[in-house]
Amino acid sequence: MKMDIESFDFNTLEEYISKSQHINCTKDYIFHYTGLESLINMLKTSTLWATNCEYLNDLLELKDIERLYKNIIDNATDEKFKKYIGIYKEDIHEGILKKLRKQTYIISFSRDNDSVAMWKNYGKNGIVLEFDTPTMIDTVKVDEINILDRDGAVKEISTIKRYGEAMYDDSRIISILEQSFEALTRLHEINNPEKEKEIQDNLFNVIFDTLNAAFILKKDKNFSYENEIRIAYTLKDEYVGKVEHFRARNNLITPYIVIDFNGKLPLKSITINPEQKDDMYEDGIRNLLKAYDYDIPINYSSSKVR
């Protein structure tokens, strides 16, 4: 790994990050596997629940980030390079990023609306909801979001928001970090204090954004079948402890926040699980949709589940 420090361009790294962190809207729709009780609540309240990211299904996510750090350090040969990584890991990773993660809430979607593996794990007796992608992303681009507080009142709050495809491959993250940390170790070669400060500031931003994205979007490659897309909301300090709800899930008390859509959800269709053959199942969904004024198609899965 060798770079020309004089012509180093941090914008190239920022472009890599942007491609990883944000959805290229090549598809108009994203999908959410869920159950009938959740559907009833969604339509009744025009809300979606975002779960605290430390309580998601992949319990190895935090350890996966630790493993990524270890791989970079173990493969490094320059002691100054290792020192920079170690300092950053201790000051930023262990401090700021872990704190932000505890304050981050995620809604998970998939690019696949009829996956056998997803039906088995998340929707065996349920449905898949098809959402309009641009409308969902618009909720992330605005400064404030509406949530329901614990008394059921609508409250407007400001959050740090991020959306993107789950990262199942380490290579992009490792490449960004390795180049950034190497550049930091060689800034003295520039012999231009003003230029050195400019590049250093931008490198710190690149590293922070990369690690923050990894904390929120990184998943073990064994979960790649999910084709997951995440919308993440990070609570600011003034709202922590004031807006969270709680539910029992997987034998744990799990915190979540309730995102209010102030009207109808951007639903486009519903797909019924492949094991469901009862006509009354479809009739019940149709009656529910009609009651809340949703005129959308109901489809059946074409998957074969044993």
Instruction: Please report, for the chain, the start and end positions of each structural domain, with discontinuous segments joined by +.
Output: 5-300
Measured in degrees and rounded to the nearest 5, phi and psi for residue 99 equal: -65, -45
- Of 289, 270, 282, 305, nearest to 31 by C-alpha is 270
Sort residue 227 into left (φ over 0), alpha (ψ -120 to 50) or beta.
Answer: left
Measured in degrees and rounded to the nearest 5, phi and psi for residue 212 equal: -65, -45
Grouping H, G, I as helix, E, B as strand and the rest as coil, residue 252 is strand
* pTM as predicted: 0.82
What is the band of 47 on the pLDDT scale with cuts at 50, 70, 90?
very high
pLDDT of residue 306: 64
| Tokens 């993250």 sit on residue | 173
Q: How confident is the model over 216-242, as a mean pLDDT?
A: 88
**Distance between CA atoms of 304 and 102, rounded to whole angstroms?**
39
Contact present, 210 and 216 (Cβ < 8 Å): no
Q: How confident is the model over 269-280, as a mean pLDDT?
A: 92
Q: How far is CA 273 from CA 81, 98, 166, 245, in A?
A: 51, 37, 24, 29
